[in-house]
Amino acid sequence: MQQVKNGDTVSVHYHGKLTDGSTFDSSEGRDPLQFTVGSGQVIKGFDDALLDMKVGDKKTVNIPVENAYGERRDDMMMEYPKSDFPADMQPAVGMELHMSDNIGNVFPVVIAEVLEEVVVLDANHPLAGKDLIFELELVSIG
């Protein structure tokens, strides 16, 4: 029976949890996730976990932070002047926004803190700094 190798296109059902048991994502009730193994479309630990699996195989893997979204980085925190927000917008902690850089790349940020003159924005991935647990089921190869 065929085993997953780098370059294979696979379909996978998954349930992603944090170490406290809370779910952060799942394919339950949806089509399985389809991607090419080793292409960088998913985090390294997810990719690596599928290698050598066969169709129908199920497994649970613990993915440490370095093979997931990496550590939280202080350089991904930035201050943005409150005066630059639209007049009708009231910034609040936890609010999700989209920013763009000087060359037009758009990226998500979350308001981490609202101070008198500035708003502190966090551009870290929401799962940065966290170990992840995935329950995987290989649905198809190819």
Kindly report, residue by residue over 21-57, the tens digit of the pLDDT.
Answer: 999 999 999 999 999 999 999 999 999 999 999 999 9
Burial class, 138, CB count within 10 angstroms (exposed 0-12 / middle 13-18 / buried 19+): buried
Place 17 in a pLDDT band, splitting at 50, 70 and 90: very high
Q: What is the pTM of this model?
A: 0.83
Measured CA to CA in angstroms, residue 22 lies from 25, 36, 72 at distances of: 9, 27, 20
- Domains in the chain (CATH in brackets) are 9-70+127-141 (3.10.50.40), 74-122 (2.40.10.330)
pLDDT tens digits for 47-89?
Answer: 999 999 999 999 999 999 999 999 999 999 999 999 999 989 9
